[in-house]
């Protein structure tokens, strides 16, 4: 783990969502602009009769389609993260995902182009669909792989800063549960064993097949489901706040309602976690008059 990892993460958390959205928007905007200029110059060099706006429409529609498809890929990589356990099956799932990604990209891209051309009083032709779909897939499968690797690489950096330094995770069990509610969890990480006191866990967050136990600025990967973990924690101290988060009530600094009926939880270490409306009543149960 980077020696300043917890401090870096604490400073980064308020900007995390802005950075993630901003990165993809900036990436595809720059690609659209650069590719539009390149294609327009290439068409002019070859003497192809095409207006400059057409190159802009082609490239911006492709970039915008890919931008919209980032979030389904984020969900898929979160649901089926790359790890040694079942790696072959997960690669197969991503292969199927790349086909769906390419089809969605083409459909969105062509729809945008047809709309833009219609607004300009022109007509757009995608060409021979079978051959064009195959051509687009040859490009899209590389793009899909690049997006997956960037997402996984970004998560790996965050895990390194949190103290989890292996990627992908090995199939061997990382945690050993006692048959009853344990006072400590034995976590095997980085070739060492750590005893994590249950009452010192500030919050826990789902991460693929693991749950990260957050203690004093460091995350300990626990091979478990959120449901199983919650069953082994003291219900008077720990509450489910979201399908991906459990919080220690003693570590909660503030619960702020939002317009949607959900809430925003600020932890004492500065972390901000979501609280869904489904779990909000149980989270605040026993707090006294509101």
Given a contact cutoff of 8 angstroms between Cβ atoms, the answer to whether 176 and 161 are in contact is no
Q: How many CB atoms lie within 10 A of CB 203?
A: 22
Q: What are the tens digits of pLDDT across the range 114-158? A: 999 999 999 999 999 999 999 999 999 999 999 999 998 888 887
Given a contact cutoff of 8 angstroms between Cβ atoms, the answer to whether 156 and 146 are in contact is no
Q: How far apart are CA 81 and CA 87, in angstroms?
A: 9
Model confidence at 173, pLDDT cuts 50, 70, 90, reads very low
List the Cα angle 206/209/212 in 5-degree steps: 40
Residue 66, judged by CB atoms within 10 A of its CB (0-12, 13-18, 19+), counts as buried
Q: How far apart are CA 215 and CA 203, in angstroms?
A: 8
Q: According to the model, what pLDDT value does residue 2 have?
A: 46
Q: According to the model, what pLDDT value does residue 287 have?
A: 60
In percent, how much of the chain has pLDDT > 90?
46
Section 262-288 average pLDDT: 85
Q: Domains in the chain, ordered, with CATH?
A: 5-162 (no CATH), 175-283 (2.40.50.1020)
Position 49 pLDDT exceeds 80? no
Position 63 pLDDT exceeds 90? yes
For the chain, the average pLDDT equals 85
Q: What are the tens digits of pLDDT across the range 78-119? A: 888 777 667 788 889 999 999 999 999 999 999 999 999 999
List the Cα angle 53/57/63 in 5-degree steps: 140
Q: Give the range among 44-53, 101-110, 165-174, 209-218 with minimum mean pLDDT.
A: 165-174
Q: According to the model, what pLDDT value does residue 163 have?
A: 58
């Amino acid at each position: 783990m980077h020696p300043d990892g917890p401090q870096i993460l604490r400073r980064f958390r308020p900007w995390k969502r802005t950075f993630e959205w901003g990165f993809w928007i900036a990436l595809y905007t720059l690609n659209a602009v650069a590719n539009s200029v390149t294609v327009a110059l290439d068409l002019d060099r070859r003497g192809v009769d095409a207006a400059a706006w057409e190159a802009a429409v082609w490239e911006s529609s492709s970039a915008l389609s890919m931008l919209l498809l980032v979030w389904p890929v984020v969900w898929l990589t979160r649901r089926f993260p790359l790890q040694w356990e079942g790696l072959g099956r997960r690669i197969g799932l991503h292969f199927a995902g790349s086909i769906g990604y390419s089809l969605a990209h083409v459909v969105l891209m062509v729809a945008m182009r047809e709309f833009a051309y219609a607004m300009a009083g022109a007509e757009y032709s995608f060409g021979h669909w079978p051959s064009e779909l195959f051509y687009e897939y040859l490009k899209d499968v590389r793009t899909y792989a690049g997006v997956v690797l960037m997402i996984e690489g970004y998560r790996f950096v965050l895990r390194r800063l949190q103290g989890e330094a292996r990627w992908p995770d090995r199939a061997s069990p990382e945690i050993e549960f006692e048959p009853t509610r344990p006072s400590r969890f034995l976590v095997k990480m980085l070739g060492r064993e750590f005893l994590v006191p249950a009452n010192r866990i500030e919050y826990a967050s789902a991460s693929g097949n693991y749950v990260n136990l957050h203690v004093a600025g460091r995350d300990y990967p626990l091979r478990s489901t959120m449901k199983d973990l919650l069953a082994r924690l003291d219900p008077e101290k720990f509450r489910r706040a979201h399908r991906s988060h459990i919080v220690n009530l003693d570590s909660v600094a503030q619960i702020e309602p939002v317009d949607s009926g959900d809430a925003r939880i600020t932890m004492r270490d500065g972390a901000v976690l979501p609280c869904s409306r489904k779990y909000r009543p149980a989270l605040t149960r026993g707090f006294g008059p509101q």
